Amino acid sequence: MLEPARRRFRIFSWPVLIAVLVLAAGGWYWLGRGHGDQAKQAKPPAMRSPVSTVAAKLENAPVYLSGLGSVTPVQTATIKSRVDGELMRVDFTEGQVVAKDSLLAEIDPRPYQVQLAQAEGQLLRDKALLENTQLDLKRYRELLAGDFVAKQQVDTQDSLVHQYEGAIKTDQANIDSAKLNLVYCRITAPFDGLVGLRLVDPGNMVHAADTGGLLVINQIRPINVVFTLPEDSLPKILAKLASGTKLTVEAFDRDQKNKLADGKLLSVDNQIDQTTGTVRIKAVFDNTNMALFPSQFVNARLLLEVLQNAVVVPAAAISRGPQGTFVYVVKADNTVTVRPVVLGETTEGTSVVTKGLTPGEPVVVEGAERLREGAPVDVKDNGETAQKAPS
């Protein structure tokens, strides 16, 4: 009885199973198609990239050439003694600014005063001897005229007169030498300048042959700055100098934040350093406030020219690719376009655009690395007034 029932169940179950599978497949297809259409309808808009912009400006753009330099005195001198003797006193304060010909130190003058007295006494003696020999020579010549003396005796007396005349010249030279040594005992400043630290104390013996000096003095008002620039800048500088243009130079501290002094270009070296490819430039500064000090390192900035009515943008807005330099310009619909540009000078974070951009067009300065042609952007407020390009 069980076997016929099982057979009937198998015959009945197969058609039912096939029908269920067909209905399930149809339902799955219908549901999937409906959800796909909804997904297409609910697709979100393209994401906008946040950017910051700055409007291109029309202004006078200075062109600077910058280089690292060192402050050097216009004149420097190591003051030494020109005579031997005891250093009696020092008449300056370390770090003092002294005037030309002011007394700095004094050597014991007494030995040279004695030499002067000796030379003056020798001169008086020789003058007296010369006068006596001249009188004798006059008498001998009178006797020679009467043939009372031999001519040889007259010639001998004439030679003696010349000897005393030479002795007098020697005595006068000794007097002048002694007087000069007395002058050298008073050591004075050769020019206006700043005195350094004292190298010898009073009471010490000093000699003209000493390798060291008593002090060092530097002229610091005015003062020079020697800095280097790439050799490629040399033709522009020489052209300006040939035209008679007076070029100005500014000196900044190491951090290039504080301007120390204003000066002018003085000269250009006569050769290029082949190891570095640079040329040395010398500028002079009044240094009235003594902001510049000898051997101080400074950043020198030479003003080469001022470009009138130039289109300028921040250097951060400039991008570079295989096709050259370009900027991203934000259009009125808040999308960007790639704009090829031709650059002029770039100075202090500002680039001059000679072609490809007009004043007022907003260019991207932050967020350009995520952009492409036509990309939508969300412009952030970066504190700059960015004018949109006309539509």
Whole-model pTM: value is 0.69
- Residues contacting residue 56 through CB under 8 Å, at least 6 positions apart: 311, 312, 313, 353, 357, 358, 359, 360, 361, 362, 363
**For residue 388, pLDDT beyond 90:** no
C-alpha closest to that of 260 among 244, 270, 249, 269? 249
Residues in the chain: 391
Packed helices 110-145 and 151-184: angle between N→C axes, nearest 10 degrees: 160
Residue 368 CA to residue 319 CA, distance in Å, equals 8
Question: What confidence tens digit (pLDDT) does each residue in 258-283 have?
Answer: 999 999 999 999 999 999 999 999 99
**For residue 387, pLDDT beyond 50:** no
Question: What confidence tens digit (pLDDT) does each residue in 191-224 have?
Answer: 999 999 999 999 999 999 999 899 999 999 999 9
Confidence of residue 23 (pLDDT cuts 50, 70, 90): low
- The SS3 call for residue 322 is coil
The superfamily in CATH containing domain 109-184 is Helix hairpin bin (1.10.287.470)
Question: What confidence tens digit (pLDDT) does each residue in 233-252 have?
Answer: 999 999 999 999 999 999 99
Residue 16 CA to residue 9 CA, distance in Å, equals 11
pLDDT of res. 335: 92
pLDDT of res. 29: 56
User: Where exactly are the structural domains of the chain?
Assistant: 1-40, 50-60+309-380, 65-74+221-307, 75-103+191-219, 109-184
Residue written as token pair 């090829």: 340
pLDDT of res. 172: 96
- Residues contacting residue 205 through CB under 8 Å, at least 6 positions apart: 84, 85, 86, 87
**For residue 362, pLDDT beyond 60:** yes
CB 95 within 8 A of CB 217: no
Topology (CATH level 3) of domain 50-60+309-380: 2.40.420
From the CA atom positions of the chain, what is the Rg in Å?
48
The CATH code for residues 65-74+221-307 is: 2.40.30.170
Distance of CA 117 to the CA centre of its chain: 56
